[in-house]
Amino acid sequence: MKRIPEQGRDREQLIAEMEEFRQNDANYREAKTWSLVYFLGDDHTEFLKRCYGLYFSENALNPMAFSSLKRFESEVVSMTASMLHGDQQVVGTMTSGGTESCLLAVKTYRDRARKRWRIWTGKPEMIAPETVHVAFEKAAEYFDVKMVHARVDRNYQVDVKSVARLINRNTALIVASAPCYPFGVVDPIDQLSRLALKHRIPLHVDACLGGFLLPWVERLGYPVPPFDFRLPGVTSITADIHKYGFAAKGASVILYRNQDYLKHQFFIHTDWAGGIYASPALLGTRPGGAIAAAWAAMQALGEEGYLDLARTTMDTTRKLIDGIGSLPEIEVLGQPHMSVFAYRSRTPEVSIYAVGDQMERRGWHIDRQQKPESLHAMVTPGHARVVDRYLADLKESVATVKGSPNLYAEGQAAMYGMISKIPLRGLIKNNVLKMMLEMYGPQGSIPDLGRQAEKEDLATRLGRLFLRLRH
């Protein structure tokens, strides 16, 4: 439909159409997805909908107009800070999600550096691991900050000596992951904390993924490296409530050790014809429903609820990792600290991307990675009921690929295998750009992912990659 209909349509008919449209979407309700959705069941979802609906029209742009929303936000910030061992001086704001939180951290430290440097020394820089979330690459591009990558070790943790060598007078911040998205490992943030203090450089911890799980995993007795405000060099932390906090999308938190950092996040303009304008985060209009539902989720689950969910999640994760480890053809990468991990092939005879294709034929939604070629899994409590089926299907998939080595040249295995090996990365970027222009152009549509892969040209194949991009 390209135009607004002349006459309004029947609402029940529209709902029926929307239900039909979603039939081919990823099946998260049956725990067939391993990213994107954190589903605790219909009861919890309906509760969140009710809480969201109570504040469906409210706008947190003006906290004086909707003081209840400001109360919710303040209490969410305080509860999160307490969970992450912050003291009474820790402050922050809610955001629309992890990407906004990461963008704000970079913007804040860029502006702080500009105001602190009496003599301009050059373009602000941030040092981050090669495994840092892509949101920081986006922030670097948006805010004209130079991204400087530090190498990682065999366990995919950032090499602290590499970080130390990269520090210079333009360094505005250091970024660490707790954990990194690709491999689920927490960087050695205790060592980075000492390094940051020595050089008086802010240290931001991206705990968007682990912020609402690692504290409970630690309480269960699992070895979790220190990553939060207990480390004096940590100046800020981001944590997504709509991930393992099991709130409605989109809800995240960015915390700062004190207001001396937070003040650089605010935007204030006093000369607009519409009046004095002040905004705490990137968005102007801030949906009240997401803020209210985040507060309600934290209140409803409580520490006991989060602890139980973490126990189920980690029990399931251990079973998955042990099951994958029992297959001689594949292996888990690194030593994950929580419920996120990747696994790859041990032998060239078994293409891991072809294994992914076989798993999708069995109904699973599979995420693929590169550097190295691997499959990715993010475990939630809902996966407890399907872990045995997943492992059985994985064993069958590996056997199928092992028995038919040429599967690496078919389907998405061929596409991802090709993309991961193309040395001219600019070629990939240009073709993804073409696909995006096609998707968002006047006749925009989503490319067909499942047909005539063997006839697709390079641009079409590369375009399909974009549909796998996350966060």
- Choosing from 283, 298, 313, the residue where a domain stops is 298
- Find, among 245, 176, 185, the residue nearest to 211 by Cα: 245
Structure tokens at 262: 């937070």
In a domain, 156, yes or no: yes
Spatial distance between the Cα atoms of 30 and 386, rounded to a whole number of angstroms: 8
434 and 288 in a common domain:
no
CB atoms inside a 10 Å sphere around CB 264: 19
Spatial distance between the Cα atoms of 144 and 170, rounded to a whole number of angstroms: 13
289 and 427 in a common domain:
no
Q: Is 30 helix (H, G, I), strand (E, B) or coil?
A: coil
In a domain, 36, yes or no: no
433 and 287 in a common domain:
no
CB atoms inside a 10 Å sphere around CB 86: 23
Structure tokens at 440: 């968002």
CA dihedral sign of residues 91, 313, 50, 14: positive
In a domain, 406, yes or no: no
Burial code (b: 16+ CB inside 10 Å, e: under 16) for 335-353 equals ebbbbbbbbbbeeeebbbb
Structure tokens at 54: 């109570």
- Whether the upstream peptide bond of residue 202 has omega within 30° of 0, thus cis, is no
Domain that holds residue 134: 52-298
Spatial distance between the Cα atoms of 346 and 51, rounded to a whole number of angstroms: 48
What is the arrangement of strands in the sheet containing 374-378, beginning at the earlier edge strand? 330-332, 340-345, 374-378, 367-369
- Give me the CATH number covering residue 263: 3.40.640.10
CB atoms inside a 10 Å sphere around CB 377: 24
- Choosing from 298, 321, 347, the residue where a domain stops is 298
In a domain, 270, yes or no: yes
Spatial distance between the Cα atoms of 100 and 30, rounded to a whole number of angstroms: 30
Number of domains in the chain: 2
SS percent in the chain: helix, strand, coil, step 5: 45, 15, 40
Please give the pLDDT value at position 119.
52
Q: Residue 53: what are its φ and ψ, rounded to 5°?
A: -60, -30
In a domain, 9, yes or no: no
Q: Which residues contact 220 (CB under 8 A, 6 or more apart)?
A: 307, 310, 311, 314
- Find, among 230, 233, 263, the residue nearest to 85 by Cα: 230
- Find, among 454, 365, 373, the residue nearest to 416 by Cα: 373
Spatial distance between the Cα atoms of 327 and 391, rounded to a whole number of angstroms: 10
In a domain, 408, yes or no: no
Please give the pLDDT value at position 404.
86
Strand pairing partners for 274? none
Tens-of-pLDDT digits for all 471 residues of the chain? 778 888 999 999 999 999 998 888 878 878 888 888 888 889 999 999 999 999 998 888 887 888 899 999 999 999 999 999 999 999 999 999 999 999 999 999 999 999 887 556 679 999 999 999 999 999 999 999 999 999 999 999 999 999 999 999 999 999 999 999 999 999 999 999 999 999 999 999 999 999 999 999 999 999 999 999 999 999 999 999 999 999 999 999 999 999 999 999 998 888 899 888 888 898 988 999 999 999 999 999 999 999 999 999 999 999 999 999 999 999 999 999 999 999 999 998 899 999 999 999 999 999 999 889 999 999 999 999 999 999 999 999 999 999 887 766 565 655 555 555 555 566 666 766 676 666 656 666 555 444 344 444 443 444 455 444 433
- Choosing from 298, 319, 348, the residue where a domain stops is 298
Q: Is the pTM of this model over 0.85?
A: yes
In a domain, 326, yes or no: no
- Find, among 188, 182, 189, the residue nearest to 131 by Cα: 182
Please give the pLDDT value at position 178.
98
Please give the pLDDT value at position 62.
81
Please give the pLDDT value at position 420.
56
In a domain, 245, yes or no: yes
Is 375 in contact with 369 (CB distance < 8 Å)? Answer: yes
Please give the pLDDT value at position 467.
42
214 and 80 in a common domain:
yes
Structure tokens at 300: 């409803």
277 and 139 in a common domain:
yes
Please give the pLDDT value at position 456.
44
436 and 293 in a common domain:
no
Please give the pLDDT value at position 439.
63
